[in-house]
Amino acid sequence: MSLRHFFNPRSVAIVGASREKGKVGFEVLSALVEGGYTGKIFPVNPKADEILGLKCYPDLPAVGAPPDLVIVVVASKLVPMVAEQCAALRVKAMIVISSGFKESGEQGKELERQVLNVARAAGIRLIGPNCIGVMATVEKVNASFAGKLPAPGGIGYFSQSGSLLAAIVDMANANGTGMSKLVSIGNKADVDELDMIRALGEDSHTRVIAGYLETIADGDAFIRQAERVSAQKPILLIKSGGTVSGARAASSHTGRMAGAETAYECVFERAGVVRCESIKAQFDYARALASQPLPAGNRIVVIANAGGAGIMAADAIDREKLALATLSETTGALLAEKLATAANIANPIDLLGDALADRYEIALRAALDDPGVDGVLVMLSPHATTDCVETARTIVRVSHEKSGKPVLASFLGAAKISAAVTVLREGGIPQYDSPEAAVATFRVMVEYSLWRSRPKRVVRLFPVNRRKVELIIDRHLRQNLFQLGEMESKEILQAYGFVTPKSAIANTSEQAANIASQIGYPVVLKVWSPDVIHKTEIDGVKTDLTTSQAVMDAFDLMMYRIPKKRPGINIPGILVEEMCHRGREVILGMTRDPRFGPLMMFGMGGRLVEVLEDVAFYPAPLTAEEAKEMLVRTRTYQLLAGGDGGGEEGVDIDAIAEGLQRLSQLVTEFPGIKEMDINPLIVGPSGTTPVVVDAMIGLEPTMTT
């Protein structure tokens, strides 16, 4: 349902309007009047005849014709009654500013439920409760007590925190940042982040969507909605509380390493959402994305009137993994001809300390005309001879004439540059107080541009034996067994195309020796027990056994020592398995996040996985490109690819990526699989088949197949 009645209502009623300055009911009414709202305003207060020259009404029914929007600023216990009145009048939208709802305890939670039930039954959209209201700058609607209405602009903002939104409003007013819509969503009883992303995505006045969130209710819907809108407009979010690990215990390496922070990082990346670490960074990025074209690549030119400033920018470009553009011969010749002899015409271009606006114009035009340049950072230090304002005007004019590439500015200083900064801001050129902030913004613009131009996601489906997996899982669920052992886990993986070593269970040392002879030496012995997940923790693995006597001795030693380490353990037998030699050990894993579903993991395997913590996560299902990108993001990727300079042959990267895709398909098709590890997966050179040496799978107790 549309949110237009919040942003462009023909009439507004304020239930709880107050005559006393400083009261929320007065400030909301005053903000609406002073903001220039041109629709009808109906203050509702049974104890007043008029407020601010407007006729007051004793209650909402007395207003007569139903207002498009009702703002509620009364005690929480009275809000259900007001909601009933809105329903009777067929009101379309309510903003409940009142607090005292679910944020205050069980009683408030029940009040909120009552209000929401009334609103949903009547088809009323509800923002709040426990919020500070809504602003729409172009429509001159200030239905809030967040402060003065900012200037119109291309940035839309929503916030779960009302106090933070008030700070955003103050910042926007202080630095002249233009905003389109600002919404405090409060408790999100009805209108939530999904509604806001959709509404701002459809809003013609909004070019950039920004926001602050503490929780995301529906992770799967968030991914779909954000991904759809990000394809058209950038979404910049601050997400607090992300460093707290998930509450549930995990048995797998993957589950232990995937906290809430990891989940949000990879989900935001998948959906094209830019994660912002601070309000300042969010404003830095938003101003550029709202006013400048996206760069076609990462090649940046720096123009400065001071060598030190240019070097600082060049260092920042290197740190942010961007590139200093190499100027063409034509550009170099033009600069050499028209600039001072002592000027540095390489990138960074140093115009020298006495440079006036004319030199900046020559350099900026040349850089923007160079096909090898994707963006320009213009820097200025205010020397005694510098004409800051005229230089700013020149930058604005030239960038407008050649509008195909982004231009950012970093004028360094304070009082001497203040008037020039105003010129830049009014001309749509983002200004940064440091080259590092400007270059970080370029990085975000480049990454978002790359995300926008990514190939269409195509998830490959492999031929598999789903029925076999269903039977194995059903058997365990009937027995209330939610942790699958190595053998059963490998059976499931075999059904999805994975290769496992030859193996069999032995009950005696002699049987173990016979199995080893049939498999062929060397072999590995592993304890087989439903009570053991990580076998190495109890010395339950013996490797590189090359004789029958060694196998029998190892069998007897394990059966003797393990029960002493773990009294009462059930050991039905010992697994005798072919030993895999050649290749690298990697781990493929999955943990199911309660908000976002299955998160795939890749990293170096064996005991190194938690020692190095060099892993990459990404939400399932995976495409081939996403699977390969997971590998590339690890620090040890070059070791796997064979490009580490050590002379060792690389492994089959495509085979690992296919394994990740097969695992992704498994956990997508069986949503009751809670977590799993393949650790290690032995991967050899290109053309060889990876082998699953060990695996574990955990099920949800409520799982059904």
User: What are 662-676's pLDDT values in tens digits?
Assistant: 999 999 999 999 999
Question: What's residue 244's pLDDT?
Answer: 44
Task: Check whether 67 has a pLDDT greater than 70.
Answer: yes
Query: Per the structure block, which two tokens stand in for 425?
Result: 């801001």
Q: Across all residues in the chain, what is the average pLDDT?
A: 92
Task: Check whether 1 has a pLDDT greater than 50.
Answer: yes
Question: What's residue 470's pLDDT?
Answer: 96
| Number of other residues whose CB lies within 10 A of the CB of residue 392 | 28
Task: Check whether 246 has a pLDDT greater than 60.
Answer: no
Q: Give me the DSSP letters along 416-483.
A: GGHHHHHHHHHTT--B-SSHHHHHHHHHHHHHHHHHHTSPPP--------HHHHHHHHHHHHHTT--E
The pLDDT tens digits for 421-451 are 999 999 999 999 999 999 999 999 999 999 9
The pLDDT tens digits for 482-536 are 999 888 999 999 999 999 999 999 999 999 999 999 999 999 999 988 777 778 8
Question: What's residue 701's pLDDT?
Answer: 81
Q: Give the pLDDT mean for 199-207.
A: 97
Q: List all residues 6 or more positions away from 230 whose beta carbon is below 8 Å from its beta carbon.
A: 271, 272, 273, 451, 452
Distance of alpha carbon 504 from alpha carbon 502, whole angstroms: 7
CA atoms within 13 A on the CB side of 523: 29
Question: What's residue 392's pLDDT?
Answer: 98
Question: What's residue 110's pLDDT?
Answer: 96
**What domains can you pick out in the chain, each with its CATH number?**
4-206 (3.40.50.720), 293-452 (3.40.50.261), 502-578 (3.30.1490.20), 584-699 (3.30.470.20)
The percent of residues in the chain predicted with pLDDT above 70, rounded, is: 95
Region of residue 322 (left: phi > 0; alpha: psi -120 to 50; beta: else): beta
Single pTM value for the model: 0.89
Task: Check whether 408 has a pLDDT greater than 80.
Answer: yes
Q: List all residues 6 or more positions away from 631 whose beta carbon is below 8 Å from its beta carbon.
A: 602, 616, 637, 640, 653, 656, 657
Distance of alpha carbon 302 from alpha carbon 316, whole angstroms: 11
The percent of residues in the chain predicted with pLDDT above 90, rounded, is: 81
Distance of CA 564 to the CA centre of its chain: 48
Residue 664 carries which side chain, given as an amino acid letter? S
- Residue 380's alpha-carbon distances to 288, 312, 360, 412, 485, in angstroms, are 18, 13, 10, 6, 66
Confidence of residue 259 (pLDDT cuts 50, 70, 90): low
Q: What is the DSSP letter of 365?
A: H
Tell me the torsion sign for CA atoms 224, 227, 230, 231: negative
The pLDDT tens digits for 91-127 are 999 999 999 999 999 999 999 999 999 999 999 999 9
Question: What's residue 137's pLDDT?
Answer: 98
- My answer on whether omega of the bond before 348 falls inside 30° of 0, hence cis, is yes
| Number of other residues whose CB lies within 10 A of the CB of residue 419 | 11
| Number of other residues whose CB lies within 10 A of the CB of residue 371 | 10
Confidence of residue 243 (pLDDT cuts 50, 70, 90): very low
Question: What's residue 672's pLDDT?
Answer: 92
Contact 299, 325 (CB under 8 A): yes
Contact 551, 545 (CB under 8 A): yes
- Nearest Cα neighbor of 527 from 571, 484, 461, 474 is 571
Task: Check whether 171 has a pLDDT greater than 60.
Answer: yes
Question: What's residue 340's pLDDT?
Answer: 83
Task: Lowest mean pLDDT of 186-195, 290-299, 349-358, 632-641, name the range.
Answer: 632-641
Task: Check whether 237 has a pLDDT greater than 90.
Answer: yes
Query: Per the structure block, which two tokens stand in for 192?
Result: 């939530």
Residues 572, 574, 576: CA angle, nearest 5 degrees: 145
Confidence of residue 608 (pLDDT cuts 50, 70, 90): low
